[in-house]
Every structure is written in C-alpha cells, then in structure tokens.
Structure 1
Amino acid sequence: MKKKISYLWILPQLLLSTIFLLGVSYGFIKSFLGENGLSLEHYQEIMGRGDTIPSIFYTLRLSLLSSFLSLALAILFSFFLLQMGEKWKRLEGFFRIAIMMPHSLVALFFLFLLSSNGFLARLFYSFSWISSQTDFPALVYDEKGIGIILSYLWKELPFVLFFSLPLAYQVDEKAGEAARCLGATPFQAFWKITLPLSIRQYLAAFFIIFSFSFGAFDLPYLLGATSPKALSVLSYQELQRGFLQRPVALAYNGIILLFSLFLSYFYFKFLPKKKS
C-alpha cells in the first residue's frame, strides 16, 4: 500500500515529462519532413543562410566561456569554502536563492548595472572617469555577449557549487584530512586528493550548464546584440514569422536538441557511479 502511495506522488511528474517528451519528439520529427516525405531540406535551408553559422559559433562561444568560467571559479571557491569545514553549509541558502532567481530578473539587474544608462556608467561619469555615459564600455547588447556571460555566471556558478561541493566535502573530510595529517598543506590536499576524487562531479555539472546555456533563450534575447543572434533567438524569430516558417524554426530546435543529447552523453559518462 505504501509503495502504491509513493508512486502516486511521482505520477504528475511522469505525466508532465511524457507530454514534454512527446512534444519534443513531434517537433524533431517534423523538422525532417519535407514536401515529399523525409528530407533534410529544412536543415539545408538554414545552413545555406548567412546568419546560421555565425549564430552557431556565437552560441557555442557564449555557452563555452560561461561554463568554463563557472567551472574554474567553482573549483577555486570550493577550496576556500572547504577550509571552513561544515560552516560552508550555511551558504547553501544563498546558492539556492541564486539558482531559483528568474532569468528575466537577472537580465534586468545586469541592464540596470551595466547599460550606458546604468549604475556603473553613472558612477564612472560622476567621478569624471568618462566624459559621457555613452563612453561606458558596451557590456550589454554587445557582439561579444559580455552581459550574457556574466548573467550565466550569476546562475551557473552557484549551481556548480551546490551540485559538486557536498561530494567534495565528503572526500575532503576523509581523504583530505588524512593527507593533511601526513604533512600536506591544505592546497596540496585539495589539489592532489580532494579535487581528483571529486572532479567527475564537477565535470557532470559542467555539461549540465553547458547544455542549458547552449539552448537558453531568455538571456540571449533580453541582453543579446542585434547580430549575431543565439540559435534559440533565431528559432523564435522564425516562429514569429508565421506557420510557413515553422519547419525552419524546428530545424533550429533540432540542432539545439542534437547538441544537447551529445552533451548528455558526457554528463552520464562523468556522473559518479553509485556503489552498490
């Protein structure tokens, strides 16, 4: 009876997941349907456009840079947080808040902070470091996507820490403590013992945020430049043009889906296996 009740708790999640998977599968199949049945014509069409290849590289650059920076900073912060012992767990609430914060709110925050009319531009102008607010470096709506990358960092860094730090703490509490007792410095214990034994967890988190940022829409749409655009933004624009452009939009979604599945393979590969 108890098992039946526990299964009922996950029934809504299973139902929603099934609907989601059916929708994604339907859209992916439709992207391969042409006028005469199965065809790659929609993919050939978008690859023949001048904005698709720059968009792919732009999306890759944004997702790679933000993910690598999040991973590197998470490893660096982990070293300092582990020196606090169990006290680092008091910071879990801040990680949760940052992770749960809506992307639209994060975008508005960085617009307020980094735009030419934002807080930093006004601060620089008030100290006469720039002659006008328009001289402030373009950090949002810029081709380099600096504002987007910083916004991703805001979300991704706490996630990597929240995802990986508990395992690193368990390793450091046992193997790391043993290494320090044998004369290793805290940094040596972390770099040679704790990090190698927990690196798979960090890499699994890396592939999660890499996949997420590659397919994200809201931040590139709200903070991105006019050109180039992220793949998700191109897909949205094609959908906005009407029913006839829907297969083209689905082809863009197909690229995002295939790349996400590719990254999922590495996620499951690096995810630490539970001992039986």
Structure 2
Amino acid sequence: MTRARHSFERWGALPALLVCGGLFGGGLALAFAQSLGYLPFAGRTRVGVDAYRALLGSSEFWASLRLTLVVALASTLLSGVFGVLLALLVRRRGGRFALGVTLPIPHVVFAVVVLLAFSQSGLLSRATHALGWTNGPADFPVLTNDPLGLGMIVHLVLKESAFVGVTVLGALARLDPAFEDAAATLGATSWQRVSRVTLPLVAPTVAGALVLVFAFACATYEVPYVLGATFPGTLSVLAVRAFGDVDLGARSTAMAISVLIAASLLPLVVVYARATRKRP
C-alpha cells in the first residue's frame, strides 16, 4: 500500500503534465514553424529567419520591447513591495478577506474600472475639478493610454499586489513561530524580527510570486489594449495586430514575437521551479 502510494505521488501528475506539455509544446512548435515563414495555407513553404531579421531592424519592435520591460519590471517590483507589506499587516491585524478583494475581478473588467477612474475624463478628474483643484479634464495628468504605461502599471499593481499578498500570507501562516520567538528572546526588535527572520524565510515564496507577476505583465494583452497608448504598444499588442493583418505574410511576424516572448520567459520557469521547492 505504501509503495503504491509512493508511486502515485511520484507519477500521478504525469498524465496532466503530458497533456499540458503536449498542448503547450505543440502550440509553440507550430508558432515557431510559422515564424520561420512556413505558412502552407497561404502557399508559403520556404522557411527562413526573415521575420526575426525584420523585427530586430524595426524601431517599433525595440520601442515595444522597452515599454514591455518597463511596465513589467515596475509593476513587479511595486506589487512585491505592497504585497509583502499587506501580508504582514493582515497577519498582524487581520482582514484576510479585504486583502484578496480584487482577485476575483477579471483583468479586462478591472482595466475598464481603472480607465473610468483615472482617465482625463474619469471619476478622479471630475472629483478634482469639483474640488477646484483643476480647471478641466485637460489639467488632469495623463494616467491612462499614455506612452509611459502608467495606466498599465497602476492596474497591475492594484491587481497583483493582492495576489502577492495572499501568496505570502499563506507562507506566513506555515511559518514556525519558534524562530521569531527565539529572535525576540535574544533581544531583536519587531523590525529586526521581520527583516532578519520572517522575510528571509518567506523569500522563496515571494520570488515565486514575483516570477508569475513578471511573466503575466510581459504577456498580457487585454491590459495594454485597454490602458496602453496607440504607439508604442507592448509586444503582445504588436503580435495581435500583426496576427490580424489582412496580409497573411504578417502572420510570421506575429508568431516571431510570440516565440520571442515565450523564449524570454522560459528561464523564469526554472527560477519559479527552484523557488517553489524551497518554500516554507
């Protein structure tokens, strides 16, 4: 019985992994083939790296890459800081429900909420005008559909801080309080206990959560579509635009962008796997 249970724990997830790996791997292989120009439905079977060469020589691609990285890095770092602080606060004072209030809301719905609240004609702009702080919508700062990606960052931070907070709170609940008690007995202050004991113990969990946030921020489409500027768009928006082009030859460009996004995120999978193995 014990041997059968051990075998199930070792191989029980294999069917699901094979299905997920087959679907993901098959889709990625098809995308790679099309990125090389293999489009038999369009009468194109000659393969090459023309799409990649054109991307690397395109100023629009590099502008999109910079915007994608800026938005992803800023939202990941801010979500990590606020998420950890929220988890520590909830652990100390309660309020677990309030921490995850934004989690069930779909990203596209929350993006519309951010647009209605922070746009120049939104609720916040009208409130500042009613209070006499601004003379009209034109005086309100551009926080959505801006080339700096501020609206996207605001959206991702508000959403992903809750995700990081809930994840870290679960790790905090599993911590053995004896470590913090021992530090307190040795004269450590509250801040020293948090910074030298608690945070190092939950660091793998934080790292794993931030990897997921960064990967999502790099690959999401609906958030930059609703809150991003027309130019530059993020890589995901650039890929969808190319995919929907009436010229089927642009399909190779769309798939090349998708392959580059997937390839750049694969190392994060290794980081996430290592972080999850070290979770408390």
TM range (shorter): 0.7 to 0.9
Sequence identity (%): 27
Counterpart CA distance in 1 for 2:190 and 2:277 is: 24
For 2:65, the equivalent position in structure 1 comes to 56
Q: Which of 184, 200, 204 is residue 204 of structure 2 equivalent to?
A: 200
1:184 match: 188
- Scaled by the length of structure 1, the TM-score of the pair is 0.87
Q: What amino acid does structure 2 have at the position aligned with 1:197?
A: L
SS at match of 1:187: helix
TM-fit CA distance, 1:13: 8.4
Q: Does the 8 Å CA contact 1:172/1:190 hold for their aligned counterparts?
A: no
Quick one: which of 226, 235, 250 aligns to 1:245? 250
Q: Specify which of 97, 113, 120 is matched with residue 116 of structure 1.
A: 120
The amino acid across from 2:81 in the alignment is A
Letter in 2 for 1:144: L
Which ranges in structure 2 are unaligned for 5 or more consecutive residues? 39-43
Q: Which moved more, 1:239-248 or 1:161-170?
A: 161-170
Contact 1:172 1:194 in 2 (8 A): no
Conserved? CA contact 1:168–1:195, under 8 Å: no
Q: Which whole-Å CA distance do the structure 2 matches of 1:261 and 1:16 have between them?
A: 15
Q: CA deviation at 1:166?
A: 1.8
Deviations, residues 8-27 of structure 1 (Å, cap 9, x unaligned): 99978864663343223311
What is the alpha-carbon distance in structure 2 between the residues aligned to residue 96 and residue 32 of structure 1? 43
Distance in 2 (CA, whole Å) between partners of 1:203 and 1:193 is: 16
In structure 2, give the amino acid aligned to 1:217: Y
State the Cα deviation string for residues 84-124 of structure 1 (Å, max 9, x = none).
Answer: 3xxx4x51x44444223111111111111111111111111
CA contact (8 A) 2:67 2:232 kept: yes
Q: 2:239, 2:257 within 8 Å by CA — same for their partners in 1? A: yes
Name the CA distance, whole Å, in 1 between partners of 2:90 and 2:180: 14
C-alpha change, 1:262 and 1:240, in structure 2 (3 Å) is: same
For the residues of structure 2 that align with 1:38 and 1:234, how far apart are their CA atoms?
A: 22
Q: Deviations over 1:215-270 (max 9, x none)?
A: 11100011101111100000011111132211110011011111111222222233
The answer to whether residue 77 in structure 2 is matched with residue 68 in structure 1 is yes
Verify the 8 A CA contact 2:55 2:61 in the aligned structure 1: yes
Q: Which residue of 2 aligns with 1:79?
A: 88
Which residues of 2 match residues 130-149 of structure 1 at below 5 A? 130-149=134-153
Tell me the residue number matched to 1:47. Answer: 56
1:104 aligned partner:
108
1:22 corresponds to which of 15, 26, 42: 26
Contact 2:83-2:163 at 8 Å conserved across structures: no
Whole-Å Cα distance in 2 between the matches of residues 172 and 191 of structure 1? 16
Question: Is the 1:82–1:172 contact (alpha carbons within 8 Å) kept by the matching residues of 2?
Answer: no
Secondary structure, aligned partner of 1:130: coil
CA–CA distance in structure 2, aligned partners of residues 43 and 234 of structure 1: 14
2:41 matched residue in structure 1: none
Provide the alpha-carbon RMSD of the alignment. Answer: 2.9
One-letter amino acid matched to 2:127 = L
TM-score, structure 2 normalization:
0.86
Instruction: Tell whether 2:157 aligns with 1:153.
Output: yes
